[in-house]
Structure 1
Amino acid sequence: MTQGDAVAATRSSPRPWEREPLAYVVASLRGVGQVDLQPALLTGAFILAGLWAAGWKVGLFATLGTLVSTAAAYALDVDRGSIALGLQGFSGCLTGIALVVFLGNHVATYLLAVVGCILCTVLTAALTHVTRPYGLTALTAPFCLVSGAMVLGAPSFGRIWHGGSPVASATSGDTGVTWSDLWHAFFTNVSQVFLVGEWYVGLIMLVGLAFAGARVVVAAALGSIVGIVVAWALGAPTALIAEGIYGYNAVLVAIAVGAVFLANTAWNIGYALFGAGVSTGLTAAVTSLFEPFHGHTFTWPFILTTWTLTAAVPLLPRLRPADG
Structure 2
Amino acid sequence: MKFADTAAERNPLLRFTDLTLRGAGQVMFMNNPVTGLLILAAVVWGAVAEDLPQVAIGAVVGLLVGTLTAMALKVDRDTLRQGMYGFSPLLTGAAVPTFLDNDAWMWGYLVIGAATTTVVTLAVSNVFTTWGVPALTFPFVLTSWFLMLGAYQFHKIGISSLSTPALPQPAGATSFDMSFPELATSMLKGVSQVFLIGDWVSGLIILVALAINSRWAAILAAAAAVVATLLAIALGAHSTAIESGLFGFSAVLTAIALGCVFNVPNWRAMLYALLGTVVTVVIQAALDTALAPIGVPTFTAPFVFATWLFLLPKADLVPTPHHKPIADGVVSGREATS
Q: TM-score, normalised by structure 2?
A: 0.86
The equivalent residue for 1:197 is: 198
**1:263, distance to aligned residue in structure 2 (A):** 1.1
Out of 94, 98, 110, the position equivalent to 1:97 is 94
The equivalent residue for 2:319 is: 321
Amino acid corresponding to residue 318 of structure 2 in structure 1: R
The equivalent residue for 1:38 is: 30
| Structure 1 residues 296-315: aligned runs within 5 Å | 296-313=297-314
| Structure 1 residues 1-324: aligned runs within 5 Å | 17=9, 20-54=12-46, 55=48, 56-161=53-158, 163-167=159-163, 171=171, 173-313=174-314, 316-317=315-316, 319-324=317-322
**1:261, distance to aligned residue in structure 2 (A):** 0.5
Q: Is the 8 A contact 2:162 2:295 kept in 1?
A: no
Q: Is the 8 A contact 1:224 1:251 kept in 2?
A: yes
The equivalent residue for 2:334 is: none
Q: Which moved more, 1:49-58 or 1:296-305?
A: 49-58
**1:177, distance to aligned residue in structure 2 (A):** 4.0
Aligned residues: 306
Distance of 1:213 and 1:262 partners within structure 2: 14
Question: Cα 1:18–1:174, aligned 2, differ >3 Å: closer, same or farther?
Answer: farther
Distance of 1:24 and 1:174 partners within structure 2: 50
Kindly, what percent of the aligned residue pairs are identical? 36
Q: Structure 2 stretches of 5 or more lacking a match?
A: 1-7, 323-338
Relative contact order, higher structure (CA 8 A, sep 6+): 2
Distance of 1:174 and 1:18 partners within structure 2: 59
**1:269, distance to aligned residue in structure 2 (A):** 0.9
**1:195, distance to aligned residue in structure 2 (A):** 0.6
Distance of 1:321 and 1:176 partners within structure 2: 42
Question: Cα 1:18–1:145, aligned 2, differ >3 Å: closer, same or farther?
Answer: farther
Q: Which moved more, 1:67-76 or 1:217-226?
A: 217-226
The equivalent residue for 1:10 is: none
Amino acid corresponding to residue 262 of structure 1 in structure 2: N
The equivalent residue for 1:4 is: none
Q: Is the 8 A contact 1:136 1:311 kept in 2?
A: yes
Instruction: Provide the alpha-carbon RMSD of the alignment.
Output: 1.9
Question: Cα 1:277–1:177, aligned 2, differ >3 Å: closer, same or farther?
Answer: farther
Deviating 4+ runs (over 6 angstroms):
none
Amino acid corresponding to residue 212 of structure 1 in structure 2: N
Q: Structure 1 stretches of 5 or more lacking a match?
A: 1-15
- Partner deviation per Cα, 1:281-314 (whole Å, 9 max, x = no partner): 110100100001112110110000001101112x
Q: TM-score, normalised by structure 1?
A: 0.90
